[in-house]
């Protein structure tokens, strides 16, 4: 009875609180509304007038931001309510969008703040728009900074609703403040084991797939636009480059809703890895691709004709920007790993966490300062940090950094989605064209199909663990669009084409997030995709199914094999405390360097350090690790050493083979003894409880 009372009172209380929040939201909006400045005494000192204006502007900005904070708070409370009641049809991002929509409606139709006619229009003769303007007002000089261009109709529209302009953010806010934490967190939380196991496929989907999707959508949209022109439905210019640009921005998937549901229901880890990995990387590809398309500038008068040189240049820009951002991101991750390895910062978690945060942030700034793309750099920085630096952190710092970026990601993501909903009503240059929108939906659908199905077919030729057709259908369905697409679309809305694309993008995002996201659970059951899969069981079943699967197709894992050896033998020992020690693996000429770089713990750790999202761990009985003259071999019977083998500590191909199959087998490491669950001859334990866990 007490429990029921508690639940009822909690429910009533929650309703009350939600009402309170809605009320306070309205109050805030009224505060913003009543912002007509009070009549101040006219003072002879003009700088006081300037100060007051600045102060009012500041108060208004605070009120605007407050609206968003209240929106987010309301979203959080509702999310809790949904989780409490296990309501899976509306995920947090869809919910945030919905609330944004509500507030947008209120702001648009409920409140009207006439334009402040105190804005003076100067008709001065200047040749270009300088970045800074010094205005001489009766002997005093005032500095003005360029905010942006205003379209002519906005200037003349005296019925303009000032309120709407005020809640509009500078689009660069998304790329400079909101997207970096989201992208970094995505990189930092990549489940590396499954990611690396599916690396080839993920790269294929992310690179080839995004480009395919971009061009397919671009071509289809171009056809649609031509048709619209014929039918007189087109009100302005819309070139092929614009279509390609649309294809690029709308190819960035963001299945955050789907992945959250996958996580909750514990769906197949490979599917999760494919979807997550693809979405993380294709964001990066889409950003750089869209920049390259924008940078397409042929020499002639018409900047929209096809020109080989310009196209090569664009392609070169794509490669250059991507590799540069990649390099910077990885470099910063490497530096952080080295710093955390060689200092005893682990003793001071606050310093360690602060350093980690600053170094990750500096990646972004460095990439932006050098003219590359910050979000791509932070992605690869995140992956590098997760792969190397994470192992060097103290356990508390590992938790702290995870939690910090998880929080930032949560706030930024819900902020963007709220803003998306809001923008549907507050953006004043929408161009709503039903034909274009229908065409876009079709193109997006077909573009996704052209991405998934052909590539899956090709990948399955090489993959050991085929991507089944139900997985393909799920991936097709789970191509939700989100934050990145929106940010890319809103970045520049100066032209007719861009405005139409922006409006259409909003609808695409709304549809995919609400309909596809909401229908995920149904789709899972419809496609008969297993849920509640424990990652270990998954493997035991696949192993039981046949040991012939273990026979490696050399090509499928070749690239990965090379990477794995290099990473295991050189990179990890350099950047973390793991073994094998470099003094053993590097040639003798690099002796002093090897000694400098080798951590004392590397001599003790015959194997890589324990990782929560542990990477592929060598588990196999045939591992031979050599330190100097001693060879340590391990198999199920225990560790035994023998002398003098010259084998220098690299894993054999059979080991790797088995590893790819048994990827999830764990290793127990007690001190420096390796206790291995099995060797090749014995079938693994089928009872998961006997499986030794790390």
Q: Which is nearer to its own copies, 276 or 356 (CB)?
A: 356
671, 606 in Cβ contact below 8 A? Answer: no
Q: Shortest Cβ distance from residue 271 to its own copies (Å)?
A: 24
Round to whole Å and give the CA distance between 166 and 188.
35
Give the distance from CA 640 to its chain's centroid.
46
Closest CA to 519 of 472, 485, 476, 456: 476
Helix 496-511 and helix 240-249: axis angle, to 10°?
30
Is 348 among the residues that bind its own copies (CB under 8 A)?
yes
Q: Shortest Cβ distance from residue 610 to its own copies (Å)?
A: 21
Work out which of 19, 351, 526, 541 binds its own copies, going by CB under 8 A.
351
Q: Is 372 helix (H, G, I), strand (E, B) or coil?
A: coil
Q: Shortest Cβ distance from residue 338 to its own copies (Å)?
A: 7
Work out which of 8, 13, 316, 469 binds its own copies, going by CB under 8 A.
13
Residues 270-309 contacting its own copies, CB under 8 A: 297, 303
Q: Which is nearer to its own copies, 312 or 358 (CB)?
A: 358
Residues 156-195 contacting its own copies, CB under 8 A: 172, 176
Round to whole Å and give the CA distance between 151 and 650.
64
Is 242 among the residues that bind its own copies (CB under 8 A)?
no
477, 251 in Cβ contact below 8 A? Answer: no
Work out which of 151, 537, 614, 633 binds its own copies, going by CB under 8 A.
151
Q: Which is nearer to its own copies, 136 or 681 (CB)?
A: 136
Round to whole Å and give the CA distance between 309 and 317.
12
Q: Which is nearer to its own copies, 123 or 681 (CB)?
A: 123
Q: Which is nearer to its own copies, 67 or 676 (CB)?
A: 67
**Contact letters (x/-) for its own copies, 546-585, by CB under 8 A?**
----------------------------------------
Work out which of 4, 86, 147, 528 binds its own copies, going by CB under 8 A.
147
Work out which of 596, 638, 675, 682 binds its own copies, going by CB under 8 A.
596
Tokens of 124: 């001065």
Is 319 among the residues that bind its own copies (CB under 8 A)?
no
Closest CA to 98 of 388, 437, 417: 417
Contacts of 241 (CB under 8 A, 6+ apart): 293, 296, 304
- Cβ-based neighbour number of residue 157 at 10 Å: 12
Question: For tokens 């100060």, what's the residue?
Answer: 51
Question: For tokens 């048994």, what's the residue?
Answer: 662
Q: Please choose, out of 133-141, 270-278, 446-454, 510-518, the segment that lies near its own copies by the rule CB under 8 A.
A: 133-141
Round to whole Å and give the CA distance between 440 and 217.
8
Q: Which is nearer to its own copies, 92 or 606 (CB)?
A: 92
Work out which of 22, 199, 327, 354 binds its own copies, going by CB under 8 A.
354
Round to whole Å and give the CA distance between 359 and 353.
10
Is 230 among the residues that bind its own copies (CB under 8 A)?
no
Round to whole Å and give the CA distance between 239 and 107.
34
Work out which of 19, 36, 87, 142 binds its own copies, going by CB under 8 A.
142
Q: Which is nearer to its own copies, 68 or 471 (CB)?
A: 68
Is 357 among the residues that bind its own copies (CB under 8 A)?
yes
Residues 411-470 contacting its own copies, CB under 8 A: 411
Is 236 among the residues that bind its own copies (CB under 8 A)?
no
DSSP letters of 627-658?
ETTEEEEEETTEEEEEE-----SPPPHHHHHH
Residues 31-90 contacting its own copies, CB under 8 A: 31, 43, 45-47, 49-50, 53-54, 57-60, 62-63, 65-66, 69-70, 72-73, 76-77, 79-80, 83-84
Q: Which is nearer to its own copies, 159 or 230 (CB)?
A: 159
Residues 102-131 contacting its own copies, CB under 8 A: 116, 118-124, 126-131
Round to whole Å and give the CA distance between 17 and 564.
53
Is 1 among the residues that bind its own copies (CB under 8 A)?
no
Is 203 among the residues that bind its own copies (CB under 8 A)?
no
**Contact letters (x/-) for its own copies, 475-504, by CB under 8 A?**
-------------------x----------
Q: Is 635 helix (H, G, I), strand (E, B) or coil?
A: strand
25, 63 in Cβ contact below 8 A? Answer: no
238, 431 in Cβ contact below 8 A? Answer: no
- Exposed e or buried b for every residue in 70-96, given b needs 16+ CB within 10 A? bbbebbbebbebbeeeeebebbbbbbb
Round to whole Å and give the CA distance between 685 and 171.
55
Residues 647-676 contacting its own copies, CB under 8 A: none
Work out which of 102, 105, 111, 133 binds its own copies, going by CB under 8 A.
133
575, 388 in Cβ contact below 8 A? Answer: yes
């Amino acid at each position: 009875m007490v429990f029921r009372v508690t639940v009822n009172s909690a429910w009533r209380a929650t309703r009350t609180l939600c009402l309170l929040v809605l009320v306070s939201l309205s109050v805030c909006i009224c505060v913003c509304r009543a912002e007509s400045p009070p009549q101040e005494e006219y003072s002879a000192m003009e700088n006081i007038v300037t100060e007051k204006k600045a102060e009012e502007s500041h108060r208004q900005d605070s009120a605007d931001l407050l609206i968003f904070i209240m929106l987010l708070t309301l979203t959080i409370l509702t999310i809790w309510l949904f989780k409490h009641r296990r309501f899976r049809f509306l995920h947090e991002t869809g919910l945030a969008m919905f609330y944004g929509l509500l507030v947008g409606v209120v702001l648009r139709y409920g409140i009207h703040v006439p334009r402040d006619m105190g804005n003076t229009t100067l008709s001065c003769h200047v040749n270009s728009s300088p970045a800074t303007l010094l205005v001489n007002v009766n002997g005093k000089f005032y500095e003005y900074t360029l905010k942006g261009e205003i379209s002519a109709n906005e200037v003349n529209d005296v019925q303009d609703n000032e309120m709407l302009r005020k809640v509009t953010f500078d689009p660069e806010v998304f790329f400079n403040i909101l997207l970096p934490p989201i992208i970094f967190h995505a990189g930092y939380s990549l489940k590396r084991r499954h990611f690396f196991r599916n690396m080839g496929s993920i790269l294929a989907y992310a690179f080839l797939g995004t480009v395919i999707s971009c061009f397919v959508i671009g071509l289809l949209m171009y056809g649609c636009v031509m048709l619209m022109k014929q039918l007189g439905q087109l009100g302005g210019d819309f070139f092929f480059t614009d279509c390609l640009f649309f294809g690029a921005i709308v190819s960035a998937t963001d299945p955050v809703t789907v992945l959250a549901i996958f996580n909750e229901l514990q769906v197949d880890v490979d599917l999760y890895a494919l979807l997550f990995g693809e979405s993380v990387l294709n964001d990066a590809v889409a950003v750089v691709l869209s920049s390259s398309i924008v940078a397409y500038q042929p020499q002639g008068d018409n900047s929209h004709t096809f020109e080989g040189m310009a196209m090569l240049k664009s392609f070169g820009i794509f490669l250059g920007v991507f590799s540069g951002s990649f390099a910077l991101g990885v470099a910063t991750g490497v530096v952080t790993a080295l710093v955390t390895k060689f200092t005893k910062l682990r003793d001071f978690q606050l310093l360690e966490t602060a350093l980690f945060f600053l170094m990750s942030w500096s990646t972004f700034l460095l990439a932006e300062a050098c003219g590359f793309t910050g979000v791509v750099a932070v992605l690869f920085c995140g992956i590098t940090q997760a792969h190397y630096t994470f192992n060097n952190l103290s356990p508390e710092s590992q938790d702290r950094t995870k939690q910090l970026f998880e929080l930032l990601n949560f706030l930024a993501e819900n902020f963007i989605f709220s803003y998306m909903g809001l923008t549907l009503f507050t953006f004043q240059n929408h161009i709503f064209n039903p034909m274009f929108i229908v065409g876009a939906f079709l193109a997006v659908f077909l573009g996704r199909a052209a991405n998934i199905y052909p590539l899956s077919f090709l990948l399955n030729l090489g993959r050991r663990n085929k991507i089944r057709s139900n997985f393909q259908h799920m991936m097709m369905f789970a191509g939700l669009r989100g934050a990145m697409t929106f940010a890319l679309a809103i970045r520049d809305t100066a032209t007719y084409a861009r405005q139409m694309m922006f409006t259409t993008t909003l609808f695409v995002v709304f549809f995919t997030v609400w309909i596809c996201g909401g229908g995920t659970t149904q789709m899972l059951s419809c496609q008969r995709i297993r849920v509640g899969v424990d990652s270990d069981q998954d493997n035991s079943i696949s192993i039981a199914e046949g040991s012939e699967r273990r026979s490696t197709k050399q090509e499928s894992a070749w690239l990965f094999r090379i990477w794995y050896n290099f990473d295991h033998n050189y990179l990890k020992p350099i950047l973390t405390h793991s073994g094998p020690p470099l003094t053993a693996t590097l040639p003798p000429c690099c002796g002093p360097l090897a000694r400098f770089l080798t951590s004392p713990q590397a001599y003790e750790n015959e194997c890589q350090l324990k990782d929560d999202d542990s990477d592929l761990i060598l588990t196999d009985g045939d591992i031979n690790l050599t330190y100097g003259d001693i060879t340590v071999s391990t198999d199920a019977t225990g560790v035994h050493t023998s002398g003098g083998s010259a084998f220098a500590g690299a894993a054999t191909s059979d080991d790797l083979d088995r590893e790819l199959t048994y990827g999830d087998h764990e290793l127990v490491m007690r001190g420096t003894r390796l206790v291995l669950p099995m060797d090749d001859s014995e079938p693994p334990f089928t009872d998961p409880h006997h499986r030794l866990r790390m």
